[in-house]
Chain A
Amino acid sequence: MTIEQLNSSKLPIIVIDKRLEQFRDKVLFPEKLEKANEILSKAGLPNRKK
């Protein structure tokens, strides 16, 4: 695939790096996840009605 094709693609082109398998089940950003869960438990999801 050429750079021109990449740049015209709407979706980013992803290349898998097997080295990242070591992080598969690890939470790398626990404080942010905690904050997310705190807000979600407090406020839930946004109103889905348009």
Chain B
Amino acid sequence: MPIRFKIKSIEFIKIINVIEFTKASEGAKGSVKKMVQFSDTGTENVYNLAFGDYNQATNSINDLSVTNNGDSLKVLATVASTVYAFIEKHPNAWIFATGSTNVRTRLYRMGITNNLVEIKEDFEVYGFSQTSVWEEFLVEEDYEAFMTTKKQNIS
């Protein structure tokens, strides 16, 4: 599935500075708002990407909930597409991401793998290996976390 999937409506939302977006997940469970946050880390130009379900009733976020709307790859693609918008604002940024569970981290790996050719047109992608080192992302390799940055940031 391509990252820039066809959209039927505009539901991306953001705020400036730490940029956040939400996107509804639509399926049998109804519409579930997702929120994405790019947070400053303690390292200059490195931002942590995280997302989860936004509960409007309690005004809270849950990154462990399972929406089960059968559209997890679409949600993931939406989240990934926000990276393009974020990088546009912060061209020197490095984006760090990891799943809240091992299963989710594997889902992210699958999403990257499925779109690697397209991603690598603009970005370098790295995986944090089981031996605790960053390496260029390899398909089928298990990683604990991921980082990406624009190719121009690699000397």
Interface set of A (CB-CB < 8 Å, partner B):
3, 6-7, 10-18, 20-25, 27-29, 31-33, 35-37, 39-50
Contacts and interface: CB of A to CB of B under 8 A. Distances in A.
Contact of B14 (A10, A16, A37): A16
Interface of B: 4, 6-18, 20-22, 35, 37, 39, 41-43, 46, 48, 50-52, 59, 61, 63, 78, 81-82, 84-85, 88, 94, 96, 98, 100, 124, 126, 128, 132-136, 144-145, 147, 153-155
Contacts, number: 131
A45 B46 contact: yes
Determine the main DSSP class of B at the interface with A.
mixed
A33 B39 contact: yes
Contact of B13 (A16, A37, A42, A48): A16
A23 B15 contact: yes
A33 B126 contact: no
A15 to B, nearest CB: 5
